[in-house]
Amino acid sequence: MYPLGKGLFAARNQWYIAAWSKDVTRDPIERWILNEPIALYRTRSGAVVALEGRCPHRHFPLGKSRVVDDNIQCGYHGITFSPDGSCVRVPSQNAIPARCAVKAYPVVELWQWVWIWMGPPDAADPSRIPDHLAIGLSDSAYQVDGNSYHEVPGRYMLMHDNLFDLTHFPYLHQSSIASGDFSSAKEIRGQGENWISGQFEFKDIDCPPIYADMFEYHGRINRDFGMKLFLPCLHVGYDHFFRASASTEQHGALLGKLSIYHAITPATTRTAHYFFALGRTFKRDDAEFGRSLMKGIDAVIDEDMHATREIESMLGHMDAEPQDLLLKSDTTCVLGRRMFEKMIRREIAQAFADKDTDAVQA
- The half-sphere exposure of 47 on its side-chain side, counting CA atoms within 13 A, is 14
Amino acid at 253: A
Q: How far apart are CA 356 and CA 169, in angstroms?
A: 49
Question: Would you list the DSSP string of 10-66?
Answer: --SSSEEEEEEGGG--SS-EEEEETTEEEEEEE-TT--EEEEESB-TTT--BGGGSE
Smallest gap from Cβ 124 to a second copy, in A, equals 24
Smallest gap from Cβ 283 to a second copy, in A, equals 32
Of the candidate spans 11-19, 85-93, 188-196, 249-257, the one that interacts with a second copy by CB under 8 A turns out to be 85-93
Q: How far apart are CA 111 and CA 108, in angstroms?
A: 10
- What is the phi/psi pair of residue 335, to 5°? -65, -40
Residue ranges in 88-117 that form contacts with a second copy under rule CB under 8 A: 90-93, 97, 99-100
Hey, is 138 helix, strand or coil? coil
Q: Is 264 in the site for a second copy (CB under 8 A)?
A: no
Q: Is 52 in the site for a second copy (CB under 8 A)?
A: no
Smallest gap from Cβ 35 to a second copy, in A, equals 7
Site string for a second copy, 111-150 (x = CB under 8 A): ----------------------------------------
Please report the sign of the dihedral spanned by the C-alpha atoms of residue 171, residue 173, residue 177, residue 180: negative
110 vs 163 by CB, closer to a second copy: 163
Residue ranges in 163-202 that form contacts with a second copy under rule CB under 8 A: 165, 167-168, 170-172, 182-183
Smallest gap from Cβ 90 to a second copy, in A, equals 6
Which element (helix H / strand E) includes 255? strand 254-266
Smallest gap from Cβ 357 to a second copy, in A, equals 25
Give the CA distances from residue 304 to residues 1, 272, 277, 281, 297, in Å, rounded to whole numbers and listed in that order. Answer: 21, 13, 15, 26, 11
What is the binding site for a second copy (CB under 8 A)? 32, 35, 37, 54, 56-61, 64, 73-79, 90-93, 97, 99-100, 161, 165, 167-168, 170-172, 182-183, 268, 307, 310-311, 314-315, 317-318, 322-329
